[in-house]
A and B are shown apart, each in its own frame.
Chain A
Amino acid sequence: MRRRATRLAGGVTLVTAAAVALSGCVASERDGEGSGEASGKDTFVFAASADPGSLDPAFASDGESFRVARQIFEGLVGVEPGTADPAPLLAESWDISEDGLEYTFHLKEGVKFHDDTDFDAEAVCFNFDRWANWTGLAASESLSYYYTHVFGGQGENGKYDSCEASDAATAVVTLKSPLPELIPALSLPSFSMQSPTALEEFGADEVGGAEDAPELSEYATGHPVGTGPYTFGEWKAGESITLSAFDDYWGEFGDVKNIVFTVIAEGTARRQALEAGDIDGYDLVAPADVDALKGAGYQVLNRDPFNILYLGMNQKQKPLDDPLVRQAIAHAIDKEALVAAALPEGTEVATQFVPSIVSGYSDDVATYEFDQEKAKELLKEAGQENLEIEFNYPTDVSRPYMPDAAAIYEAISADLEEVGITVTATPEPWSPTYLDTIQGSDKHGLHLLGWTGDYNDTYNFIGTFFGAESAEWGFNDEALFKSLGDARYAPIDEQEDLYKAANEAVMEFLPGVPLASPVPSLAFTEQVQGYPVSPVQDEVYNVITFTE
């Protein structure tokens, strides 16, 4: 009796061991194949942090949607490699009329959509008209965020007037009023050129569902058709997206014939997948992992920073409405030490609310050098020697501009305590609690937040922060709001100076303390060569090659 029971238990162990051993064999066989034919490798496996929100980039505004869209689609305007500056793409050149209302795009010829239809001026106008004629759900901000924000929405308020195909290779877009940011904005994947035939066939604008429950269209879940180097294959929700090379692509190909985006939400799991050889690369590398990955022979590539991290101050919370107190706080913070302690190597210390590669960056802003004695004096002058202040920071989040909010909070609060400010910490989960506290209520004092730019335009940074009254900052300065609005629509050659002046005005007023522009990192195996790192993430994989 006993013997049999033992045998049973032994059997179970044996079966488990056999399964382990067998799978070991399979795994190593698979590895063997991989390394044996390294030069024949044509599939690039990249770990995304989430599913795309939509395969129709016109209805998307999230980074994961754009990452996929950039492989499938191209816009009229692209980005100069390695910079944030606009460059020709499907439009080889463009002319802008004197009054800034007429844009004539000279299109690249001989370009085909993946469905074998021609890319021409008719297609361009079809796309512009599509955006401008959305109604109902499609026109709502949660879907067409970028069209709403760049063109001011549909109908009367919208800046778009019309588009005309003067010949197959020339499209003329007319605006109702000037929009100097149009060219850089057109480099966003949301303004990609999509196949009119496919858009109609798969009901791209039929945002289904009940009135209060928008549902993705058939096009957006499974039939995106662009002119880009890769065609759409399959989307297994929550798991992966597969793309393959477009044979009639007008441009060149490196080694990547197939792309697999595999969804791995958790940062450590992405790193382990790389180490286990399951993926070729991933984005959003945690700063703490950089050294270990480099040490183990992986490549860590940095994007030029195109973001800003700041310490916000809510002026509805007294005495943050006192400029002396705000200046004292700015003087109390040692930004260099903060960067060394809590941000990745290569991070730029910020002096204003835009990163240095943005065109309206000014060298003449008021700076508040680290000087704790001065901070104490300013507090004394303001009569706030025993200042107690609430400090909100988010948990459970890693943003490109804020990899570890708790570490940043600790460094800053230590500096503030040093000058005699008593800090009360209020940590909250990022989404949706923290965001709601900061953006939707007055119940916050000091807080950490930031922004990653969409395209090279100063308004995209300071306009987002200070373009109108908001609960986050708690001040109402009509003059500032107006000057930013004026700068946004000023003639293009006057813009840079206006934006520089705006940056100087903002830093004089000091609504918050710009802290740093951290560099976002990506990690790859040694095999991956020529990954096109871009500050605005305009990274298309057709240029990648593999080594042995």
Chain B
Amino acid sequence: MLRLIVQRLLLLIPLLLGLSVLLFAWVRALPGGPATALLGERATPEAVARINTLYGFDQPVHVQYFKYLSRLLQGDFGVSTRTGRPVLDEFLTRFPATIELTVVALIIAIGIGIPLGYVAARRAGSFLDHSSVVVSLIGVTVPVFFLAFILKYVFAVELGWFPSTGRQDPTMIATHPTNFYVLDGLLTGEWDAAWDALVHLILPGIALGTIPLAIVARMTRAAVSEVQNADYVRTARAKGIKSARLRGDHIVRNSMLPVLTTIGLQVGLLLSGAVLTETVFAFSGIGSFLAEAVFNADYPVMQGFVLMIAIVYALVNLLVDVSYGLIDPRLRRQQ
């Protein structure tokens, strides 16, 4: 197991190197540049040239790349051209928001998706089964921004049950030792702050969780349908194994492997930041910040954020692989 982890971590190095080259080539191939974005209507060719000199964008691309790489190896991801703050700081400030949103979306996706898929499979052909298919189809087809917009319109604007934007009521006085606002509230005993942060997560969490929910439900339904008709389940049932154990040990556990893979992929995706949901709810995570960076040709942020997202994605997948072993003893033994 340890060997697997070390192997996979070592593999990350060439992966990130290759990615850094691609990213570098990509952002510099984009039309325009940070200077134009910074100067707006005021750009003159001279002003653009001066800014390009300032940031070193006028040097040959390979010279820029090796400079970038040597700084990267020292853990320096550069400074945002738009905000003038270190890219790493920008990422670390916003990533907790994205993680919180991911957790809520996942709780919704798994908490509803697995039971829904399970029930649908166990009652194949029933009304519940058909409705779960419809629900999951709607889940994957309704565009996220539309859903987010509707949720906000109904529950925030019309009914006023939830706040419309942000991570916390901006007039609330709260301390943030970790930047995970819900956790911060719990740690510092500011219960109202924790509750307020949680309430701010619900609508974006639902909007963001819908697609994973639909996918998890469909995956669970397919896996459970297959496993419940497997020979060993029939044999177990024939042997008179108690239904609770039959469900837990034989059906659910065996059908969870593909579902887990799916969830792992979804976690990776969710942690990459949800551009649309974050934008609609003015939720300050990494997705909306990366989108802003693209609009402003903020090269250092584009490069740095994508690299960090790639690292997160790879680590999540590694975690999923490791957890296979925990669920399926056969895999553990093979390794």
Q: A45-B170, A263-B284 are in contact. Are A142 and B157 (CB under 8 A)?
A: no
Q: A238-B284, A431-B297, A439-B43 are in contact. Are A6 and B119 (CB under 8 A)?
A: yes
Chain B residues lying within 8 Å of A2, measured Cβ to Cβ, are 122-123
Q: Does B26 contact A (CB under 8 A)?
A: no
Taken together as a complex, chains A and B put the C-alpha atoms of A30 and B244 apart, in Å, by 46
Size category, B interface: 35 or more
Q: Does B62 contact A (CB under 8 A)?
A: no
Taken together as a complex, chains A and B put the C-alpha atoms of A240 and B174 apart, in Å, by 13
Q: Does B295 contact A (CB under 8 A)?
A: yes
Q: Does B50 contact A (CB under 8 A)?
A: yes
Q: A142-B51, A210-B71 are in contact. Are A12 and B111 (CB under 8 A)?
A: yes
Decide: B163 and A435 in contact? CB cutoff 8 A: no
Decide: A272 and B116 in contact? CB cutoff 8 A: no
Decide: B296 and A431 in contact? CB cutoff 8 A: yes
Decide: B199 and A23 in contact? CB cutoff 8 A: yes
Which of B82, B86, B165, B279 has the largest number of chain A CB atoms within 10 A? B165
Decide: B161 and A432 in contact? CB cutoff 8 A: no
Report the tally of A-B residue pairs with Cβ distances under 8 A: 211
Taken together as a complex, chains A and B put the C-alpha atoms of A252 and B152 apart, in Å, by 39
From 404 to 453 in chain A, residues with beta carbon under 8 angstroms from any chain B beta carbon are 429, 431-433, 435-437, 439-440, 449-451
Chain B residues lying within 8 Å of A214, measured Cβ to Cβ, are 54, 79, 84
Taken together as a complex, chains A and B put the C-alpha atoms of A440 and B44 apart, in Å, by 8
Binds A, one of B8-16, B31-39, B308-316: B31-39
Main DSSP-derived SS at the B contact region = helix
Q: Does B288 contact A (CB under 8 A)?
A: yes
Decide: B282 and A265 in contact? CB cutoff 8 A: yes
Q: Does A373 contact B (CB under 8 A)?
A: no
Chain A residues lying within 8 Å of B258, measured Cβ to Cβ, are none
Chain A residues lying within 8 Å of B221, measured Cβ to Cβ, are none
Taken together as a complex, chains A and B put the C-alpha atoms of A310 and B244 apart, in Å, by 75
From 213 to 267 in chain A, residues with beta carbon under 8 angstroms from any chain B beta carbon are 213-216, 220-221, 236-240, 242, 258, 260, 262-266
Q: Does A39 contact B (CB under 8 A)?
A: no
Q: Does A192 contact B (CB under 8 A)?
A: no
Chain B residues lying within 8 Å of A449, measured Cβ to Cβ, are 41
From 136 to 178 in chain B, residues with beta carbon under 8 angstroms from any chain A beta carbon are 149, 152-153, 155-157, 159-171, 176
Q: Does B24 contact A (CB under 8 A)?
A: no
Chain A residues lying within 8 Å of B47, measured Cβ to Cβ, are 141
Q: A264-B282, A450-B41 are in contact. Are A142 and B161 (CB under 8 A)?
A: no
Q: Does A277 contact B (CB under 8 A)?
A: yes
Chain A residues lying within 8 Å of B38, measured Cβ to Cβ, are 142
Taken together as a complex, chains A and B put the C-alpha atoms of A458 and B163 apart, in Å, by 45
Partner-B contacts on A (CB < 8 A): 1-2, 5-6, 8-9, 12, 16, 19-20, 23-24, 26-28, 30-31, 43, 45, 51, 53-54, 61, 137, 140-142, 145, 209-216, 220-221, 236-240, 242, 258, 260, 262-266, 268-269, 272-273, 275-278, 396, 429, 431-433, 435-437, 439-440, 449-451, 464, 468, 470-471
- Apart from A265-B292, A272-B156, list 16 A-B contacts with CB within 8 A: A9-B115, A16-B112, A19-B202, A20-B202, A27-B162, A31-B160, A142-B51, A212-B54, A215-B79, A262-B166, A269-B279, A278-B165, A431-B36, A433-B32, A450-B41, A470-B44
Q: Can you name 18 A-B pairs with beta carbons within 8 Å? A: A23-B199, A26-B199, A27-B199, A140-B54, A142-B54, A216-B83, A216-B84, A220-B84, A236-B176, A239-B284, A240-B170, A264-B282, A265-B282, A275-B157, A431-B32, A432-B32, A436-B36, A471-B45
Enumerate the 8 nearest inter-chain pairs by beta-carbon distance, A residue then B residue, closest first.
Answer: A432-B32, A238-B284, A212-B56, A436-B32, A276-B164, A213-B79, A216-B84, A24-B161
